[in-house]
Amino acid sequence: MARVFLTREMPGRAVEILQAAGHQAVVWPDELPPPQVELAAELAQSHAALTTVVDRITPAMLDGAPDLRIVANMAVGYDNISPAEAAERGIWVTNTPGVLAETTADMAWALLMSAARRVTESDRHTRAGGWRTWSPTGFLGMDVFGATLGIIGLGEIGEAMARRAVGFKMRVLYHSRTRKPALEADLGLEQVGLDELLAVSDYVSLHCPLTPETRGLLGAREFGLMKKRAILVNTARGQVIDQDALVSALRDGTMGGAALDVTDPEPLPLAHPLFSFENVVITPHIASGSMATRSKMADMAAENIVAVLAGKEPINPVNRGHR
């Protein structure tokens, strides 16, 4: 019987899937993730781990886990572990691509709309008793219909975002590593350089992974290129943005607002200056968070573990190329 450590209670059938395959599922019982020392101790006794984006798996932890064969991340992003370091030690890393794209794009769209139409800001105002009359100038926002959306990272979620924008008759620009002629033809997308995308878009939405190339992709220079009323949406990773530069741009009024599901660090301390702006929406990294999608993600991670423990290749490996 193999020991599988799950770093949190999971929605869906993950435990059932693991037990049905004859494995022992050991679930970390707290709402908060295991501290690094506890995580290392659990990995040291396990054959497999089902992890989340907040579980930082270090090379030293992998060295201390002689029986570990797979780290199955319940996420599409896997910047919490080095796939190459894991592969060097013969350990598979897997993720959960595809199943969360529509749900995450729904949330990115909700954030975009919230910032454009000042939804959370006016809700706060209403709850505080500020609604005194209908006002011709009250809470005027930005139109979304017919505006220009710039997508950075045209993968599964970026494409799902573009399909939503088509329904709003938006002009959709994208900047990605690879050109996507089929999507350009199907959805009328236009590939442009990053600077042009930033200069022309009314809304900029980030959908690239966090990698050495994308860390700090948007900083002071890039924010300076954006339209004065443009809104930035980030459901990718907080570190793709230079957050201090974002604070300065918002303070100087060189951009219209930001809607962030991801920050650096997470959680963002309450004293952080980003919380002081009325034109900033912040949610606690919940973009894939529908019951159905999170269940699919956890089930998928469990299926990857079952495959590897049965001596097969995993279904969603991210480090095959490193092996």
Q: Give residues in contact with ligand NAP (CB under 6 A).
A: 76-77, 97, 100-101, 104, 152-158, 175-178, 207-211, 213-214, 235-237, 261-262, 285, 287-288
Only one residue has tokens 């968070």, namely 289
Q: Please choose which of ligand NAP, ligand GLV, none residue 207 contacts, taking the beta carbon within 5 to 8 angstroms, the exact cut-off set by kind.
A: ligand NAP
283 binds, among ligand NAP, ligand GLV, none (CB under 5 to 8 A by kind): none
Catalytic residue, from 23, 69, 237, 294: name it: 237
Residue nearest to ligand GLV (CB): 77
Q: Is 266 a catalytic residue?
A: yes
Shortest distance, position 285 Cβ to ligand GLV, whole Å = 6
Minimum separation from the CB atom of position 261 to ligand GLV (A):
8
- The question of whether 237 is a catalytic residue gets the answer yes
Supply the minimum distance, in Å, between the C-beta of residue 52 and ligand GLV.
Answer: 8
Which residue is catalytic, options 9, 266, 278, 313?
A: 266
153 binds, options ligand GLV, ligand NAP, none, Cβ within 5 to 8 A by partner type = ligand NAP
Provide the minimum distance between the beta carbon of 284 and ligand GLV in the complex, in angstroms, as a whole number.
11
Query: Residue numbers of the site for ligand GLV (CB under 6 A)?
Result: 53, 75-77, 100, 288
285 belongs to the catalytic site:
yes
